[in-house]
Chain A
């Protein structure tokens, strides 16, 4: 199995841009997906196929990919964006999650 590596925490002030990275050797060959999870709630998909945004997800959420690293960008961060964010990918028969990044809005 392979691993996805995320920074444990990212902090930004309201209105700034937050960037959360996810690194993994399989990412050049496999799509990455991003989930937002708030305390006591189930995860919610915010980005799929590296950069696609599901309906209902604010435009300030975007994704990009470069080599072995994918990035979730939240532009104009709002207090409600404070949450844990997980990247996920798949390699043939298994799904893998990154360790998660806690986004703190200062």
Chain B
């Protein structure tokens, strides 16, 4: 079964850091581009970052550029999001999502992990 499982969410103070992980299984992780997408409470979906299969191409939304770093370890079938200088507006459910091969849409999503930034 194709599966993505996020972890690492929690409560953090403004200015703090957090590292999210996404464990992939049931498919050849190293062949797929991956994404992080977030959803603030009661709000819509917001794309955060993408990374290509070999980490050659990395993109960020303007709202997180310079503060968040996406990475992956294909040997461990894992995707990561290092979040620094966190702000209240980063509070959201963070989803890991797989790009369909060679496409710009996300065909597999995890259940999400919740990040709360509050003092």
Contacts and interface: CB of A to CB of B under 8 A. Distances in A.
A86 B44 contact: yes
A31 interface: yes
A42 B112 contact: yes
Interface string B68-80: 0000000000000
Interface stretch (B9-17, B18-26, B82-90, B102-110): B102-110
Nearest to B4: A42
Interface residues of A, number: 27
B111 A42 contact: yes
Nearest to B48: A95
Interface of A: 1, 30-31, 33, 35, 37, 41-45, 48-49, 54, 84, 86, 88-90, 93-100
16 contacts: A31-B104, A31-B105, A33-B104, A35-B45, A37-B45, A48-B100, A48-B103, A48-B107, A86-B45, A90-B105, A93-B57, A93-B59, A94-B47, A95-B35, A95-B47, A100-B44
Interface of B: 35, 37, 44-47, 50, 57, 59, 61-62, 95, 100, 103-107, 109-112
Given A42-B111, A84-B44, A95-B47, 11 more contacts: A31-B104, A35-B106, A41-B111, A43-B106, A45-B107, A88-B106, A94-B61, A97-B44, A97-B46, A98-B44, A100-B45
